[in-house]
């Protein structure tokens, strides 16, 4: 029996799904971190389930709505790119670069780089020359409206991927099939003391007019702005704050202030304070009858992204509570306080 190209791809994809994990699936915790451009369609679509849909009559202010990642037309030398953090570190075996529904606006070529770097690395680290990117797929042709399958022959464990498209255009989905390496996942050793699943409890906040403070400690990524903590607009000289009782006494090593979905309404800056008061009741903490220490001074924030801050261990203590201060107001989707438990 002679199989058509589409039938062959369907058979191979089904076989791959049965034996390998999609390391770049949104459902598995992967995240599109940064892109050179996403004028027509956002990078986050790359990691969604399925192959995307096409709605002929749907348009946005930027042009035709497309269910994928699509950049504007380049009028200069170069190419576009998107950096993705895998849901779990792993060995990559196959790539499916799917240009479904992109006809006349798909890239003609692609290449893929990968690196092994701490899971919560900052954007600056990922785009710096010090980041050791390795090319795992050399520049190769892409077909429009197709699943473009590539076999990868590299047994290294990778944490991040950089998809390059030449010169511009749209990709509906990116599937990165491989074998997760849980032993390598050093970041998993760190305890998220501000996670609801680890026992964290929001105790009080200055305001939560648009979004509940309990959203800050939810698992996974926020689905939209309503899935974060957002305060009303301040018309005075004050600032907003939220107090969390950590799931366990913790020495913070990494702080993640995630402003995903907050683009024109994220705080200009923030600071973080901590207190070790295991026997204090909620009223004492809210009324300020405990001593707060500075963990991070007032620091600028960027919107619609994970803002990641490394803590100098020489200067921090163990804490049972943290207070996130935002200046002057705005929204934060998630707060992560990662570190080692107090013993």
Same structural domain for residues 214 and 124?
Answer: no
Instruction: Give the model confidence (pLDDT) of 163-184 as tens digits.
Output: 999 999 999 999 999 999 876 6
Same structural domain for residues 164 and 230?
Answer: no
What CATH number is given to the structural domain containing 20?
2.60.120.260
Token output for 188: 């998993």
Mean pLDDT is highest, among 8-12, 24-28, 327-331, for 327-331
What is the pTM assigned to this prediction?
0.78
Cα 156 to Cα 160: distance, rounded to the nearest angstrom: 12
Instruction: Say which residue the tokens 């001074």 belong to.
Output: 297
Q: Are 343 and 288 in contact (CB under 8 A)?
A: no
Same structural domain for residues 165 and 245?
Answer: no
Same structural domain for residues 202 and 63?
Answer: no
Query: Mean per-residue pLDDT for 8-25?
Result: 73
Same structural domain for residues 98 and 207?
Answer: no
Domain tally, the chain: 2
Residue 57, domain extent:
5-184
Token output for 62: 């930027």
pLDDT of 8 reads 47
Q: Which of 219, 150, 171 is closest to 48 using CA atoms?
A: 171
Same structural domain for residues 225 and 332?
Answer: yes
Same structural domain for residues 180 and 197?
Answer: no
Which is more confidently placed, 230 or 1?
230
Q: Is the pLDDT of residue 1 over 50?
A: no
Token output for 277: 């008061």
Integer CA distances (angstroms), 200 to 243, 320, 337, in order: 11, 10, 10
Same structural domain for residues 101 and 243?
Answer: no
Same structural domain for residues 40 and 143?
Answer: yes
Instruction: Give the model confidence (pLDDT) of 62-114 as tens digits.
Output: 999 999 999 999 999 999 999 999 998 999 999 999 999 999 999 999 999 99
Q: Is the pLDDT of residue 40 over 60?
A: yes
The Cα angle at residue 129 between residues 22 and 175, in degrees rounded to 5: 10
Same structural domain for residues 202 and 137?
Answer: no
């Amino acid at each position: 029996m002679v199989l058509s190209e589409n039938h062959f791809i369907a058979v191979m994809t089904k076989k791959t799904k049965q034996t390998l994990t999609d390391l770049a699936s949104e459902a598995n915790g992967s995240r599109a971190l940064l892109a050179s451009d996403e004028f027509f369609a956002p990078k986050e679509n790359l990691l969604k389930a399925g192959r995307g849909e096409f709605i002929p009559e749907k348009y946005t202010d930027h042009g035709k709505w497309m269910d994928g990642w699509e950049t504007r037309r380049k009028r200069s030398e170069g190419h576009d790119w998107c950096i993705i953090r895998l849901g779990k570190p792993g060995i990559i075996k196959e790539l499916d670069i799917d240009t479904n529904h992109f006809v006349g606006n798909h890239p003609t070529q692609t290449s893929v780089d990968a690196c092994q770097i701490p899971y919560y690395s900052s954007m600056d680290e990922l785009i710096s020359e010090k980041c050791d990117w390795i090319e795992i797929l050399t520049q190769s042709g892409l077909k429009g409206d197709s699943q473009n399958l590539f076999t990868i022959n590299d047994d290294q464990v990778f944490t991040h991927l950089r998809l390059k498209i030449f010169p511009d255009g749209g990709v509906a989905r990116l599937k990165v099939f491989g074998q997760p390496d849980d032993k390598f996942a050093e970041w998993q050793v760190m305890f998220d003391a501000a996670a609801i699943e680890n026992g964290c409890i929001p105790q009080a906040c200055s305001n939560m007019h648009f979004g509940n403070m309990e959203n800050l400690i939810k698992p996974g990524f926020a689905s939209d702005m309503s899935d974060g903590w957002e305060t009303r607009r301040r018309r005075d000289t004050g600032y907003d704050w939220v107090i969390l009782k950590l799931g366990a006494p913790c020495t913070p090593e990494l702080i993640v202030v995630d402003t995903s979905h907050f683009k024109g309404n994220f705080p200009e800056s923030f600071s973080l304070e901590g207190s070790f008061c295991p026997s204090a009741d909620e009223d004492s903490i809210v009324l300020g009858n405990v001593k707060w220490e500075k963990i991070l001074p007032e620091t600028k924030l960027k919107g619609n992204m994970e803002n990641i801050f490394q803590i100098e261990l020489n200067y921090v203590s163990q804490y049972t509570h943290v207070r996130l201060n935002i200046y002057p107001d705005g929204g934060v989707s998630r707060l992560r306080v990662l570190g080692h438990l107090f013993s």
